[in-house]
């Protein structure tokens, strides 16, 4: 198994410098990743391995904001055992015992203590696993000790009231230590977290999933989260089997991708192993990435 590289890719969105940090690799069942799309179609975009899994990334976004570093999603963390990591094909070990996310921060010249704000799109283990970390003594603590964390109130309720279908994705060790430390703030609907960084409800993958809109100096970037996990998922009906409300995902995608094309947004793909971002175009049949400018 190979970790997707490069570890860090940086660019500007308006006046803000942003860094996409690849918090590790992940391999998931290709059929589950593409829902009702038949394999002969999806494997032309992302080939499957001998266990029918496809290579994914776990990209987080670090934004250098005048009010402090803002981190969007945190990868899978360092608390899971070998068996779990094998099932989900997670390869994210960091040089210092934490994860690739912390390695990426180091490469940028930032420390975990420097992160002022953490925003979670939702609380699934591959998005909020790095909200906390376990030290050598077995203590689980917030991974960003000086940060305020943000997630939707409804997502927190959903994560703490699981059923047989949803339980496999939510582990309290990923977020309860942050709640216990009084560091989680729960968001209702849309909200500007700091100037130019706004959380936007994008339901479907989970009922209270949110995405992040960055608006600076006339440019807009949009961190999709699991609304559209890779650039291969741009066609409207290419929706993950993991989504709990796939028809809601469809309508959210329709609305967001239309606005992204109309307003020339830079879309940021969390799970794409190779493509960090791009702008979309509808060619009459479907959405696809425009050539990079």
Q: Residues interacting with Zn ion, by CB under 5 A?
A: 126, 226
The residue (of 16 and 101) whose beta carbon lies closer to Zn ion is 101
Q: What's the closest the beta carbon of residue 86 comes to Zn ion, in angstroms?
A: 18
Q: What's the closest the beta carbon of residue 242 comes to Zn ion, in angstroms?
A: 8
The residue (of 86 and 264) whose beta carbon lies closer to Zn ion is 86
The residue (of 103 and 226) whose beta carbon lies closer to Zn ion is 226
The residue (of 102 and 126) whose beta carbon lies closer to Zn ion is 126
Q: Is the peptide bond before 6 cis (omega within 30 degrees of 0)?
A: yes
The residue (of 149 and 242) whose beta carbon lies closer to Zn ion is 242
Q: What's the closest the beta carbon of residue 226 comes to Zn ion, in angstroms?
A: 4
Q: What's the closest the beta carbon of residue 15 comes to Zn ion, in angstroms?
A: 29
Q: What's the closest the beta carbon of residue 127 comes to Zn ion, in angstroms?
A: 5
The residue (of 92 and 216) whose beta carbon lies closer to Zn ion is 92
Q: What's the closest the beta carbon of residue 76 comes to Zn ion, in angstroms?
A: 10
Non-local (6+) Cβ contacts of 57 within 8 A are 4, 22, 24, 25, 26, 270, 271, 272, 273, 274
Please name every residue paired with 60 in a beta bridge, in sequence order, or none if there are none. Answer: 21
């Amino acid at each position: 198994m190979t970790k997707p590289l490069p570890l860090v890719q940086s660019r500007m969105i308006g006046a803000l410098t942003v860094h996409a940090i690849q918090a590790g690799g992940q391999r998931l069942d290709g059929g589950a990743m593409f829902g009702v799309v038949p394999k002969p179609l999806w494997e032309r975009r992302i080939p499957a391995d001998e266990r029918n899994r496809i290579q994914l990334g776990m990209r987080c976004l670090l934004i250098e904001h005048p009010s402090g570093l803002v981190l969007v999603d945190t990868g899978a963390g360092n608390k899971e055992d070998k068996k779990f990591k094998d099932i989900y094909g997670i390869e994210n070990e960091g040089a210092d015992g934490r994860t690739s996310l912390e390695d990426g921060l180091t490469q940028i010249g930032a420390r975990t203590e420097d992160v002022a704000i953490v925003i979670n799109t939702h609380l699934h283990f591959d998005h909020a696993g790095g909200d906390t970390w376990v030290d050598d003594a077995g203590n689980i603590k917030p991974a960003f000790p000086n940060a305020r964390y943000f997630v939707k109130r409804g997502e927190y309720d959903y994560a703490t009231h699981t059923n047989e279908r949803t339980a496999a994705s939510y582990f309290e060790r990923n977020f309860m230590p942050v709640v216990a430390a009084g560091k989680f703030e729960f968001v209702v609907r849309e909200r500007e977290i700091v100037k130019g960084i706004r959380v936007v409800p994008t339901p479907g993958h989970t009922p209270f999933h949110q995405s992040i809109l960055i608006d600076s100096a006339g440019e807009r970037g949009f961190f999709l989260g699991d609304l559209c996990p890779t650039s291969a998922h741009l066609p409207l009906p290419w929706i993950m089997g993991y989504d709990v409300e796939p028809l809601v995902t469809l309508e959210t995608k329709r609305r967001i991708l239309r606005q992204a094309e109309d307003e020339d947004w830079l879309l940021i793909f969390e799970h794409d192993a190779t493509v960090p971002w791009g702008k979309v175009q509808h060619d009459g049949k479907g959405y696809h990435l425009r050539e990079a400018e």
